[in-house]
Amino acid sequence: MVSEHSAVIFSKVSRYFGDVKAVDSVDMNIRSGEFFTMLGPSGSGKTTCLRLIAGFDRPTFGKIILYGQDVSNLPPYERDVNTVFQDYALFPHMTVGENIAYGLMIKKVSKQERERRVNEMLDLVQLSGMASRKPNQLSGGQRQRVALARALINNPKVLLLDEPLGALDLKLRQQMQVELKALQKRVGITFIFVTHDQEEALTMSDRIAVFNQGKIEQIGTPAEIYEHPATSFAAGFVGVSNFVHGELAKRLTGSEATFSIRPEKIHLANPNEKEATGMIVIEGRVRDVIYLGLYTRYLIEVEGGGDLVVVEQNLKTTSMDVLTQKGQRVRLSWKKEHMRQISG
């Protein structure tokens, strides 16, 4: 399992707090140079995993390997990692330049060298010319960049990021997602990112680990997790999913297993419209219509019980068109291969 391409390996790592299994026998192998995201709801164990990698906390059981070295019992300062927190933790009385240079000062790097590296970092995070400002003279996005520059100046092997964009408004957050990903590609450092926001995880990550109750439900690329969710939790947490099981599953597929089907894979048509062959077809009634500008979300009550969510882009339809569909009978169809069998 150990390879020179592994940045961090968790081998059966657990962290218990009394009766709470915050992290429960987790195995993962984070590759060197990748953008790896730990995604999950509040309390699923992501931050505890990050703290275990940083050395702020120790595992109850199991082993953590950092670039080939067992660091399970090493203090934080003996690990080649740095952390960026959600609240940035900048020193308010220091200038931007002094904040960024802090790690080098501790290491007693010469003033000249410090200035050179600070300027390099300011360029990297697009804050050139702002070295003498104080943190309270910066916007949220700029403060976030200072925190990044401060964490990157020591050139750590691994950068840990705990919900670093959580305090930003949506527009800025989306802009920083793209910037952060581009920055990571430029510096080539392994980024381990914690978020509960599935869209953020899909946008930025090379691979995602989906956490639930201290365990990993699935590890994969964004496309793998979205298109082939391994469990019902992964299917429901990453994007929206419909679940088909029991009688209906049997009628449609011949099997009583549980299947997931994404809302955008379902085609909504008039009951008289002819379907292409090889499609799964089912009839239903439009129970609710939610017009969302770019697309419309329909809630369809299907024959045989249950509701399915369907989304369609408003390419030709207006809000008036879609709202008149409420209560109408419709035909739903989708390709067989878009129904994914899932476990649990």
| Interface positions with ligand ATP (CB under 6 A) | 17, 20, 22, 40, 42-48, 196
- Smallest separation, CB 72 to ligand ATP (Å): 18
Which is closer to ligand ATP, CB of 162 or CB of 206?
A: 162
Give the C-alpha separation, 180 to 81, whole Å.
17
7: left (phi over 0), alpha (psi -120 to 50) or beta: alpha
Which is closer to ligand ATP, CB of 51 or CB of 150?
A: 51
Which is closer to ligand ATP, CB of 11 or CB of 48?
A: 48
What is the per-residue DSSP string for 127-165? -TT-TT--GGGS-HHHHHHHHHHHHHTT--SEEEEESTT
User: How many residues are present in the chain?
Assistant: 344
First to last CA, the chain: 27
**Which of these, 82, 20, 28, 16, lies nearest to 210 by C-alpha position?**
28
Which is closer to ligand ATP, CB of 47 or CB of 99?
A: 47
Give the C-alpha separation, 175 to 197, whole Å.
15
- Smallest separation, CB 39 to ligand ATP (Å): 9
Contact call for residues 28 and 52 (beta carbons, < 8 A): no
Which is closer to ligand ATP, CB of 51 or CB of 331?
A: 51
- Smallest separation, CB 48 to ligand ATP (Å): 3
- Residue whose entry in the numeric block shows the structure tokens 């207006």: 318
- Smallest separation, CB 236 to ligand ATP (Å): 17
DSSP class of residue 344 equals: -
Which is closer to ligand ATP, CB of 50 or CB of 189?
A: 50
Give the C-alpha separation, 302 to 268, whole Å.
12
- Smallest separation, CB 210 to ligand ATP (Å): 11
Which is closer to ligand ATP, CB of 83 or CB of 99?
A: 83
DSSP class of residue 263 equals: G
- Residue whose entry in the numeric block shows the structure tokens 């419909």: 242
